[in-house]
Structure formats: C-alpha cells, structure tokens
Amino acid sequence: MKDDHFYLKCILLFVDDDGDKKKKDKKKKKGEKEEKEKKKGPSKATVKAMQEALARMKEEEERAKREEEERERRLAELEAQRLEQERLEAERKEKKKQKDKERKERMKKEGKLLTKAQKESRARAEATLRALQAQGVEVPSKDSMPKKRPIYSDKRKKKPAAQTPEGMCKLLDCFIFIFMVLKPFVFTAAEPSAEAADLDDWEAMASDEERELKKVHIEVKETKASQPAHKSSAPAKQENGSEDEEEDEEDEEDEDEEDEEEGEEESEEEEEEEKETQTAKTKSKKEVSSESSSESDSDDERTKEERLYDKKRRQENLKNINLDKLRAPVVCVLGHVDTGKTKILDKLRHTHVQDGEAGGITQQIGATNVPLDTIVEQTKMVKNFDRETIKIPGMLIIDTPGHESFGNLRNRGSSLCDIAILVVDIMHGLEPQTIESINLLKEKKCPFIVALNKIDRLYDWKKGPETDVVATLKKQKKNTKDEFDERAKAIIVEFAQQGLNAALFYENKDQRTFVSLVPTSAHSGDGMGNLIALLVDLTQTMLARRLAHCDELRAQVMEVKALPGMGTTIDVILINGRLREGETIIVPGVEGPIVTQIRGLLLPPPLKELRVKNQYEKHKEVCTSQGVKILGKDLEKTLAGLPLLVAHKEDEVPVLRDELVRELKQTLNAIKLEEKGVYVQASTLGSLEALLEFLRTSKVPYSGINIGPVHKKDVMKASTMLEHDQQYAVILAFDVKIERESQEMADSLGVRIFSAEIIYHLFDAFTKYREDYKKQKQDEFKHIAVFPCKLRILPQFIFNSRDPIVMGVTVEAGVLKTGTPLCVPSKGFVDIGIVTSIEVNHKPVDTAKKGQEICIKIEPIPGESPKMYGRHFEAVDIIVSKITRASIDALKNWFRDEMQKSDWQLIMELKKTFEII
C-alpha cells in the first residue's frame, strides 16, 4: 500500500515539472493561451495513470482482507478440531474407566478379587508349603484323606458356588498347622549341637523367601511327587490369570479404532511383565532344584564322616601355615612388544632364548625357576642389600608375549603371579600393550615394579654392570644424566595419567603408595642386580603372609603342548602344595572335566625355560612354586587358564568335577565352533586362542581346532568344507610340523594349508588368500550380480531412440554399472536392453551413483527385437535394473562391501516390484 502512494506522488511531480518547462519555452505573446490551458487541468495520460494506481491500491486492500478472513477461518477450524479430539479422549477414558469398574465388580461378586493382604497371606502359605516339601515332609493331600460316604440328595443342577478367598486362605492355614505339628518330629533326627544352627538357617530362609515374595509373586508349579498338595492353590491362580486375560481380550475387542494403538501398548506391557515374572519364577525354581539336587547327591554319594574329614583336612592345612618358611614367589614379566622382556630373563639366566625365537618374537608363555644361588650372585653389587637374610628359596619367573594378539596369555600370566615386572622402554614410554598390562594388574590387584629398560640407548651412556645402578648414573656425563631425568619424569607423568603414583626406586620413601622405577639395560646388564634385589625385598616383607608355606594344593594349567615322543603334555604352575606321580588329577577340558592319572612329572633344569626343549628331569614328587610338565592320558582336549585339582580319595572325584564345571562354563563360551569355517591348528593352546581371537575380529568362522602336528585326519576334516563352501577348505597351521603325507593328501583333495612360525605372517597370508579368492569370485559373478538402480529419463537429451538407445538420465536411487539390464515396470516389465557405456561430462565411467546426470547407451538383448523410445516406453516412465534371486544372492555373497544401506532398501523395494521370494 505504501509503495502505491509513493508511485502516485512521483507521477504528480513529473507532471508539474513538465508543465514548467513548457511555460519557459513559450513567448509572452501567448499568455492568454497559457492561462486557458491551466484552467483546463491535467492531461488524459496523467489521469489514466492516477486511476490505475488507485485501482491497484483497492485490489491490494481487498486481497489483504481476504487473506485475513481465510486465516481466521482456519484458526477457527483448528480450534474446533482440538475441542472435538479432547471430547473424544474424555469419552474414551470414561468408557475404559467404566469397563474396569464393571469388571472389578463382576470379579468381586464371583469372589475372585483379592485384597493385597489376602494375596500376601496366600503367597506366604505357598512359600511355606514349598519349603515343607524341600525338607522332605510328606504333606497330606486330598487323595490321602479318608473318603466320606456319598450322600445322595437333589439331582437338579445348581450353580457352583464361587470359591471365596477366605475359604482358600483357611485351607492353606490348615496346611501350615499340619506342618507346625510335624516340625518337631522332623528336626529331632538331627544332632543336638546342630539343632540351633539348622533352626536359624530355616528362619533365615523363610525371611529371605518372604522378602522375595514381596517383589515377585512366585507360582508354585505342581510336581509328580507334590501334585495333590498344590491342587488347592494352583487352580485358583490359573483361574484368576485366565479370567484376567479373557477380560483384557474383551476390552480390546469392544474398543473403537482410535483406541486400538493404546490397547496394543497396554497388552504388550502386560506381556512383558508376565515374561519377567515367569523368568523370575523359573530362576528361583532352578536354584531351589539345583541346591536340593546337589545336597541330595552329596548326601547319597558321600557320608557325613567323609565330608567332615575333608573339612578337617583343609582346616589343618590352613593351620599349618608357617610365616617363617616362605615359598618361591611367582613373578610375571609384562610389557609392550620389543621392550626387552625376554632379553632381561636371558641376562638373568645367561641364556639366548630370545635369539632362537622365530623373528625374535615371544609367542608362547614360559616359566623359569631361578634358584637362590643365582639371586645371591646377581645381587652382589647392590649396596644396602643383605644377601644372608634372604628368606625365599628362589623365584619362578613367567615370561609373556607382548604382541596385541596374545592378550589371553598376558591375562593368564597376571592371574598366576604374586608380583609382576612391567618392562617399559625408556625411549618410548607407555605404549598400548603396556597400558593393557597396567589395567590387567589393577584388575587383579597385583603389586608390580617397573623396569625402565634400554638405558644403554641414552647418548654417551657408559655401562657399569658390576656396580650399583645408582653409582653408574652418577658417573654419567651431565648431558646423559639430564636426558635420563627428562625421560624418567615424562614416564612418571604418563603413569599419573593412568592413575598411578610412580617414583625412581632410590627416591621412593613409600613402597605401598608409589610404584618403583628401576633403570635397567638387558643389553649391558646395568641395573639387573637392583631389579632382583628390589623384588626379593618386596616379596619377603610386604608379601610374607601371601608366600607363607601351605600344604593346600593350588595349581593352574598354564599351557597345553604336543611334544614328539611324549604326546600331549600340560605345563602347570604349582603355587602351593605338592604333586606326586600316580595321583588322580582333574583338569578342565573342552568337553568337560578330564579325570586322569599323573604318569610323569618333568622339570627343566634350573635357569632353563620350560617352553624350550630341554633334557627334562623326572621327579616322583614336586613341591611348591615350580613350573612342571605333566604327562598323562587323554590330555588332548585340556583347557589352559583354569585350576588343576587332585583327588586324594575316589569319592572326591565327582565333587571336584562339579567345582570345575562351574568355572568351565565361561571359558567354553569363548570357543564356539561353527558348521562352516576354517580348520585351525597350533602348537599350544595359548597361540591357538590368539589365532581364534584374530579370526573372531576378522569375522571368519572356524569349524575345527586341534593342537599338534597336521595329520591326515586333520586334512580329512578340513576337506568336508569343499562340499559346503570352498573358501573355508583351509588349514591355518601355526608353529606346527606338517607331515609329508598330509601335504600330499591336501594337494590332491584341494585343501590349502597355510603355515608360519610367526603368527602375523600367518595372518597376512590368510588375509591375502581371502582377498584373492573374493576378487576371483567377483570376476566370476560380475555378469550375474545386478546392482539396484532407478533412473528418470531426461526428455531433452534423447540422442538416439533405437538400436542403440542413447539418452540422458538422472540416477534417482541406487548404483548404475555397465552391463546392467534395464526394464520398465510400468509398461508390463518390458526389457529395453543392457547398459554398455556410461558417460559423465563426455568422459566414460564404469559406475554412476545417486544424484548424477549421465548419458547412457542401451543395446538390445541378444536374440530379442530392439525396443524403441516413444513406442515401447515414454519419458514419464521410470527405468529400473532387472534383478533376480540369483543376482541378489551374488550381491550378498561377494559384493556386500560395495553396497550401502540405501541400496539394500532399494533391493527390498524392487523385490516387491518383481515379486521375488
């Protein structure tokens, strides 16, 4: 409106200016004529412009008025709709409330509506009945009661009176009364000394059950033995439950369409609650049944005297703990790869184990027994260390791998040890596996000291292995000392970031609060004596109670190995107690606990690694803190990382088996074989677990596992995959010997055997094989696999309408590739041809994605008549790729990585279009 006023003023000003110019041009002679023209007024053009402006202003006002009226009308309609919805909602709630009220009234009349107090009393009575049956008391049932003489009366049908809650509660109170009468007779059979304890247990159990019943209403299911006793209570509950369900169904049927969604949500919530209560019930029943069955088994198999004997023997073993006589501590060496863990032990043992390992990489867990003489010899240069008062008889040091894949062996080593050495490269600080080891030690609450290794790599380092490392540091040049201090402070800061206080061992005033850092060099030998001296000092002072000698057996299976000439053996860390040849042992196995006898106990010589082949020494008996190799029968399927138990008597075997079963469940869940998968073979269980972990992370299934050399039977097992899936007809053999006959058989059957001494080389070889196999299959199936796409024709870019069709299109969805067959669903699924070339900006490409505008050439399908644009299909028709069941399967199996989520959604849409099952 304002713009129109401004426009009108401008026109009037323009007219005035024009009139002034005309007056100046005319002469004074024509004065009279000018006066006449002024009297006549504005010209016709001016008037017309003014009229048009006024007409526009009027139209604008009318339009604004109409819009305002339309807006007010819409608001009024919305308000009316809202009020109508509120009214319908109020009616629906009122209707539902009325139905609930009617249902409750009906249940109340029938006597099925219980109050909270009645429900609680019924639940208490049922719990008492269940406890009564668990104690073995025979509760009189309906069937056992003497039958009354039948009274014949009026035979006309009468309405059955509904059982009232009061009547049912009276019946349950009757059962409680019978139990209270029988209770003294049941418990008088026990010993007088145990009577009070049993009574307390019973009361505690009853109170626990009452607390549980407040949370969940436990339904007492009928068993064959106790069926009559529960007949009175169970049907009432079932009737109530079925009645409730029927009422819910009626409510849902009666409700309107608008109320269906809410009704469904409510029914789903009720179903979820019922499921939760059912799971709670089954759990409680299972626990009760398992406890009762275990108690009954122990009662049946072992007499009371035998159980007391076992308990007494264990108590005596614990009483005989001698704090003055300490066992050798188990020390675990942890750290990142290439920090020098094995090299430190080599320096201590004067061996060259690290030089003999494949690639210089530790891939197995090993144990070394360090005698007292070696400790005294290694610590002779350490000041303020009394070598004559050493209480420990030696050390058992466990070496673990540092590579990422061997997390299972680090976990196993840290769970065995009493104290740990965390090896840190002073040049690199804390690395990923170092942090992983710190977290393991925190989790196990295991004390540790830190070896700051590779100090010989500091610039201008002057070695001094025969002197104390503190004195060696003082002798260094200023720049070397400054570099050491700088790097040590940086590592202390990194430890602080992990939530640990750390300090150099000679500055550490509080060993319990601060972790000690010992500068060492496994290459030159600097600081090795200080490391051993600190270990000895900490173990015999702070860990004295933990290292006290005890006869109670504590042993753990560390590794399972197949040795030539000996068969399958197990490496065991014996922490407490003793093992004797001929004893019956129970070890964990893949298919359950294995019971066998010790046929031989082998120990490596002192300062020799258990995992390295040595001249083992045979022993009849082995005492505490030893890494021992056990020979026995049926040890092929033993699982490492779990305890080894010894049965001193024959009747102890089933009890010890039950103990191991509980610990086995979690471990067995980790090793799950698939129907289709590769066959895995390794020299030890630890390396086998590392291989399986790699396969799990790579999402490669495995169908079979074995420990030891590759035999013909292993090739036969792997060859079964040729019938199912050829890519899995593979044996991954890590650090094992492949027999010549096995290799020849594999070549003839078409089974691939990958072998390597370094686990990462095996990973690389198998990964390359998978990629090559996948590429081969993609080339084989590229003519079958059809990627989904949806194209819209650009009618202004039709370059050729027939044989070949050349046109411009837009990719609306999916992926278009050369070789894709196209069809038009809207014209009776007419096949228009195959895409032979794609161009984007006059450049040929193989693939076009969603949103691109491209030019395509469509050639006719061989053997079919060419289709023509304008006759068989038009510009308004959508073109899609013609997919089949075979093409979808090919995409799933071999081209999954090239497909996105939106492409799979388009596949689902096209499946419906083409009616593919």
Instruction: Report all structural domains of the chain as residue ranges with CATH numbers, in order of start.
Output: 2-85 (no CATH), 115-139+163-254+266-301 (no CATH), 326-548 (3.40.50.300), 551-661 (2.40.30.10), 678-781 (3.40.50.10050), 789-914 (2.40.30.10)
Question: Which of 238-242, 662-666, 789-793, 840-844 is predicted least confidently?
Answer: 238-242
Instruction: For the chain, give the number of residues.
Output: 917
Q: What is the average pLDDT score of the chain?
A: 76
Question: Once rounded to an integer, what is the mean pLDDT over residues 629-647?
Answer: 85
Dist. CA 561–CA 567, nearest whole Å: 8
pLDDT in tens, 571-604: 888 888 889 999 999 998 877 889 999 999 988 8
Q: Is 154 left (phi over 0), alpha (psi -120 to 50) or beta?
A: beta
Tens of pLDDT, residue by residue over 382-394, are: 888 887 888 888 8
Which of 40-54, 518-532, 616-630 has the lowest average pLDDT? Answer: 40-54
- 378-432 tens-digit pLDDT: 888 888 888 788 888 888 888 877 555 455 556 666 677 889 999 999 999 998 8
pLDDT band (50, 70, 90) for residue 171: low
Residue 510 has pLDDT above 60, yes or no: yes
% of the chain surpassing 90 pLDDT = 22
Q: Distance between CA atoms of 821 and 818, rounded to whole angstroms?
A: 9
Burial class (CB in 10 A: 0-12, 13-18, 19+), 348: buried
Residue tagged active-site, from 403, 428, 523, 549: 403
CA distance 858 to 838: 9
At residue 229 the predicted structure's pLDDT band, cuts being 50, 70 and 90, is very low
Q: Are 838 and 818 in contact (CB under 8 A)?
A: yes
Range of weakest confidence among 183-192, 625-634, 716-725, 883-892? 183-192
Position 362 scores a pLDDT of 52
C-alpha to C-alpha distance for 825 and 713, rounded to whole angstroms: 55
Most confidently modeled of 401-405, 683-687, 695-699, 842-846?
Answer: 842-846
- Determine the distance from the C-alpha atom of residue 136 to the mean position of all C-alpha atoms in its chain, rounded to a whole number: 44
> If you ran DSSP here, which 8-state letter would residue 845 be given?
E
Q: What is the pLDDT of residues 856-877, one digit of tens each?
A: 999 999 888 899 998 899 999 9
- Tens digits of residue pLDDT in 274-283: 444 444 444 4
The pair phi, psi for residue 623, each rounded to 5°, is -100, -170
Tell the burial category of 566 from Cβ atoms under 10 Å away from its Cβ (0-12, 13-18, 19+): middle
Residue 195: pLDDT band by 50, 70, 90 thresholds? very low
d(CA 10, CA 49): 11
Average pLDDT over residues 471-475: 90
**Amino acid present at 151:** I
Each residue's pLDDT tens digit, 54-110: 888 888 899 899 999 998 998 999 999 899 999 999 999 988 888 888 888 887 777
Task: Give pLDDT tens digits for 287-335.
Answer: 333 433 443 344 344 455 556 656 666 666 666 676 677 888 888 888 8
Take residue 298 and report the two structure tokens written for it.
Answer: 């122990």
The CA distance from 226 to 813, in Å, is 66
Distance from C-alpha of 268 to C-alpha of 252, rounded to nearest angstrom: 12
pTM of the model: 0.53
3-state secondary structure of 508: coil
Q: What is the dihedral of CA 298, 301, 305, 306, to 10 degrees?
A: -90
Hey, which bits of 507-620 come out as E strands? 515-519, 548-549, 554-563, 567-576, 579-580, 584-587, 594-603, 617-619
Angle at 16 between CA 11 and CA 19, to 5 degrees: 130
Distance between CA atoms of residues 916 and 500, nearest Å: 62
Residue 140: pLDDT band by 50, 70, 90 thresholds?
low
217 part of the active site: no
Per the model's pLDDT, the better-predicted residue between 780 and 708 turns out to be 780
* Residue of 136, 132, 150, 146 lying closest to 233 (CA atoms): 132
Which percentage of the chain shows pLDDT scores above 70? 70
Say which DSSP state 336 is in: S
pLDDT at 402: 53
